[in-house]
Amino acid sequence: MSIPSMTLFHNPASPYVRKVMVLLHETGQLDRVALHDCQLTPIKPDAALNQDNPLGKIPALRLANGQVLYDSRVILEYLDQQHVGNPLLPREGSARWRRLTLAALADGIMDASVLVRYEQTLRTPETQSQAWLEGQRDKIRRALAELEAEAIAELASHFDIAAISVACALGYLDFRHPDLQWRQAQPRLADWYAEASQRASLLATQPPV
């Protein structure tokens, strides 16, 4: 086993970190990365992380030369160019932009889901904005409906960065927002996820219960 040459600022509950971990599994690069576990919230940052990422967000990846990459989208593209297998994101052409768009849709689901989580855990019930919470949930519902209607065949064709991102977004919904019961309105997406979630990379990176 090689000595890790990179350091990943990491928390297993983060869907953004999970994307990176899944790609490391899929491309055989796990032994190249040491994990620096972070316990942080928007109001309790990690001091070591702040030194490398002024935004104080995870994931951040410190390279062997000291350069630091963030956010997850940048890290995924970098790592996808560091392995010898087939790329998990097309290098050019219309397929590249389509897969990036699907990945962005998945990231939007994560963004809204995390914001709902923060609102519910960092504010008291009487200070939470129900209208704002419902607005975030509507974003999630619209994005899921788009995936159900337009993306199933594409997701099933390649387990690439787009599919990784969607799988991690759905996993986060199950982890933090089971009350949304997203499978009821998205049966084809649910079937795809049921199969994808049995991949070794997703089983190994499940968030803590």
Q: What is the pLDDT of residues 137-169, one digit of tens each?
A: 999 999 999 999 999 999 999 999 999 999 999
Helix (H) or strand (E) holding 190: helix 187-196
The pair phi, psi for residue 37, each rounded to 5°, is -75, 135
Whether residue 1 has pLDDT greater than 70 = no
Distance CA(157)–CA(160), nearest Å, equals 9
pTM above 0.95, yes or no: yes
Cis status, amide bond into 59, omega within 30 of 0: yes
Q: Where are the domains of the chain?
A: 6-80, 94-199
Q: Tell me what pLDDT residue 190 has.
A: 99
Q: Tell me what pLDDT residue 104 has.
A: 99
Average pLDDT, the chain: 97
Other CB atoms closer than 10 Å to residue 24's CB: what's the count?
23
Q: Tell me what pLDDT residue 109 has.
A: 99
**What distance separates the 2 farthest-apart alpha carbons in the chain?**
53
Q: How far apart are the first and last CA of the chain?
A: 30
Residue 147 is encoded by which pair of tokens? 């995936």
Residue 109 is encoded by which pair of tokens? 């689901």
**CB under 8 Å to 100, separation ≥6 — which residues?**
89, 162
**CB under 8 Å to 161, separation ≥6 — which residues?**
19, 23, 76, 77, 80, 88, 89, 99, 103
Distance CA(119)–CA(70), nearest Å, equals 24
Q: Tell me what pLDDT residue 187 has.
A: 99
85 CB-contact burial (10 Å; exposed 0-12 / middle 13-18 / buried 19+): exposed
Q: Selecting from 1.20.1050.10, 3.30.1130.10, 2.40.110.10, 3.40.50.2300, what CATH number does the domain 94-199 have?
A: 1.20.1050.10
The verdict on domain 6-80 having CATH code 3.40.30.10 is yes
